[in-house]
Amino acid sequence: AQSVTQPDIHITVSEGASLELRCNYSYGATPYLFWYVQSPGQGLQLLLKYFSGDTLVQGIKGFEAEFKRSQSSFNLRKPSVHWSDAAEYFCAAAPYNQGGKLIFGQGTELSVKP
């Protein structure tokens, strides 16, 4: 079955430290891949997406993600975390050419220590 897995439910990092949030997908073929962020009481905001081409994708707010086909992974990274990055992060996948059928991971809640 198609699925997206985020192994870490909750991560705490110190402000200024680097961050990596993990995401693995299980699909027959490489899907489109996304990272969204959700602040408390808010909707989801798209951080970045991967469709094809360069496997290192740059997004908003200083985030990047790297697609690794061999590991079926699409991990999100940020070199230096800011307190305002505290939020919930969702990885999502959509099968190629099945526009709209996004499947989300369970989310990773990020806390930032001062």
Partner 1 sequence: DAGVIQSPRHEVTEMGQEVTLRCKPISGHDYLFWYRQTMMRGLELLIYFNNNVPIDDSGMPEDRFSAKMPNASFSTLKIQPSEPRDSAVYFCAAGTSGNTDTQYFGPGTRLTVL
φ, ψ (nearest 5 deg) of residue 70 = -65, -25
CA dist 78 and 80 (Å) reads: 6
Contact (Cβ atoms closer than 8 angstroms) between residue 6 and residue 25: no
Which tokens go with 92?
A: 């999502």
Residue 104 is a binding residue for partner 1 (CB under 8 A)? yes
| Shortest distance, position 28 Cβ to partner 1, whole Å | 17
For partner 1, which is the closer residue by CB, 22 or 49?
49
30 touches partner 1 by CB under 8 A? no
Minimum CB–partner distance for residue 99 and partner 1 (Å):
3
Based on the shown chain and the rule CB under 8 A, indicate whether residue 13 belongs to the binding site for partner 1.
Answer: no
Region from 10-18, 32-40, 57-65, 67-75 binding partner 1, contact rule CB under 8 A: 32-40
Cα separation, 4 vs 12, in Å, equals: 22
Of 13-21, 42-50, 56-64, 71-79, the segment contacting partner 1 by CB under 8 A is: 42-50
Q: How far is CA 78 from CA 26, 28, 96, 100, in A?
A: 24, 29, 27, 28
63 contacts 47 by C-beta, under 8 angstroms: yes
- 67 near partner 1 (CB under 8 A): no
Which residues of the shown chain bind partner 1 in the complex (CB under 8 A)?
A: 32, 34, 36, 41-46, 49, 51, 90, 94, 99-107
